[in-house]
Amino acid sequence: MVKKDSGITFNLISRQKLEHFSSSDKLKYILSEVKEGRILVLEHGLTPTEQAQLIEHTMKEINHDTFIGIEIGGYENEKVGFFQRVFGVAKKPRMTVIGPAHLLRMVHKDNDMIETTIIPGKGVS
């Protein structure tokens, strides 16, 4: 992890862009961006299965000198009503923020707010 002077990049990723990916491509994309030192705000988050897979992939990618893992926070899935469940509408994941753990720290999260802080002076060149 090398100090970087050029600031920190936030990418706000639209739901349309994410829907374009297959599940595995989405995870590859997210992890490669985060490893590059970018913080991603996903308009449409990950399903619980995808979150577990992302953690699994992250663990495989950890390199003690360059990448210590991710910080992730998202709102709970949208509640689905009775009739939507009857017609097979699945719970939709909501907005999620993901970043490299050496750069982004989750301060507090509840049902209505995700509070994060950027660790100053860090980044990947």
Partner 1 sequence: MGLLERFRESKFSKMIHKVFGKNHAKIGIYGPPNVGKTTLANRILRDWTGDIMGSVSEVPHETRRAKWKNNIRIDNGGSSLTMDLVDTPGIATKIDFKEFMNMYGMTKDDSRVRAKEATEGVIEAIRWLDDIDGVVLVMDATQDPFTQVNVTIIGNLEARNLPILIAANKIDAENASPATLKSAFPQHPVIPISALTGYNTENLYTMMVKEFGKKRHKKRR
**42: contact with partner 1 by CB under 8 A:** no
Stretch that binds partner 1, among 11-19, 21-29, 54-62, 116-124 (CB under 8 A): 54-62
Stretch that binds partner 1, among 7-15, 16-24, 35-43, 49-57 (CB under 8 A): 49-57
With a CB cutoff of 8 Å and minimum separation 6, the contacts of 50 are 23, 26, 27, 93
C-beta of 60: minimal distance to partner 1 in Å?
7
Cβ(97)–Cβ(39) below 8 Å? yes
With CB under 8 A as the contact rule, the residue among 18, 27, 33, 58 that binds partner 1 is 58
Considering beta carbons, is residue 2 or 6 the nearer one to partner 1? 2
The torsion angle over the Cα atoms of residues 115, 118, 124 and 125, rounded to 10 degrees, is 130
Cβ(46)–Cβ(93) below 8 Å? yes
Positive or negative: CA dihedral 51, 56, 57, 62? positive
Binding site for partner 1 (CB under 8 A): 47-49, 51-52, 55-56, 58-60, 62, 64, 68-74, 76-77, 101-102, 106, 108-110
